[in-house]
A = this chain, B = another copy of it.
Amino acid sequence: MKYQKIPEATIRRLSRYSRCLEEMNENGEKVVSSAQLAKKCIVNAAQVRKDLAYFGEFGIRGVGYYVKDLHNNIKKILGSDKEWRMALIGVGNLGSSLLSYKDFLKQNYKIVAAFDIDPPKVIGRVSEKLGKPVEVFHINRIKEVAKERRIEIGLITTPPSEAQGVANMLVEAEVRGILNFAPVQVTVPEGFVVKDVFFTTVLDNLAYLLSN
């Protein structure tokens, strides 16, 4: 298949397929058809095949896909075959719950440093919940520590008013990826990427659907 721009929606679905395949693999299932995978992920079977076709031919006609093989291929496509080193900025309520989120690790995402404006205040939140606590630094050491620990992704869990400032520091520290939980639009220069996780936007969506 000749080159085409890949839709964002395709990438989101690949992530879903990946989770399903992981589960199937754990259940000892060897082979899966696009129809079965589609059903499990609640999408159209042709959609599954087309999504995969952007990246190559992974199936065998008349058979389907080898679960493990396809899973590996999708992980390679998504870049989740390598370990991603992350920093968390803002060790508050949400931040400390993310610090103890075990699923990140399972998925090859690792928080290797945390930052706050007041480390002594928040230190209890970290150690109280984990066997091996993540080190918490003062925010003004972010550039230095980010370099040293080869951080590639920053998670922003500060109050909204601080988010853009923190994003600027991350840019300064050449942390190219940002996952932003603070409900404000932050902007970064070309070459950097921000993705948002806005709970209330999804809630608004739900509220809209429920009232119509």
Which A residues are within 8 Å of any B CB, using their own CB?
A: 8, 11-12, 14-16, 18-19, 40-42, 77-80, 82, 84, 93-94, 96-98, 100-101, 103-104, 107, 109, 129, 152-153, 176-179, 183-185, 187, 193, 195-212
Q: Once the chains bind, are A80 and B207 in contact (CB under 8 Å)?
A: yes
- Residues of chain B within 8 A (CB-CB) of A203 are 84, 104, 107, 109, 153, 179, 195
Closest B residue to A176 by beta carbon equals B210
Q: Once the chains bind, are A197 and B195 in contact (CB under 8 Å)?
A: no
Cβ-neighbour of A204 out of B11, B101, B206, B210 (below 8 A) = B11
Cβ-neighbour of A205 out of B12, B205, B208, B209 (below 8 A) = B12
A2 vs B36: C-alpha distance in the bound complex, in angstroms?
Answer: 40
A190 vs B96: C-alpha distance in the bound complex, in angstroms?
Answer: 37
Decide: A205 near B195, CB < 8 A? Known: A177-B210, A187-B42. Answer: yes
A109 vs B42: C-alpha distance in the bound complex, in angstroms?
Answer: 29
Closest B residue to A100 by beta carbon equals B93
A-B contact pairs, 17 of them (CB 8 A): A15-B198, A15-B200, A15-B204, A40-B185, A41-B185, A42-B187, A79-B207, A79-B210, A80-B207, A93-B97, A93-B101, A96-B97, A98-B199, A103-B183, A152-B210, A177-B209, A193-B210
Decide: A208 near B93, CB < 8 A? Known: A16-B201, A153-B203, A179-B202. Answer: no
Q: Once the chains bind, are B103 and A11 in contact (CB under 8 Å)?
A: no
Copy tally for this chain in the complex stands at 2
Cβ-neighbour of A207 out of B84, B103, B205 (below 8 A) = B84
- Residues of chain B within 8 A (CB-CB) of A107 are 200, 203-204
- Residues of chain B within 8 A (CB-CB) of A96 are 93, 97
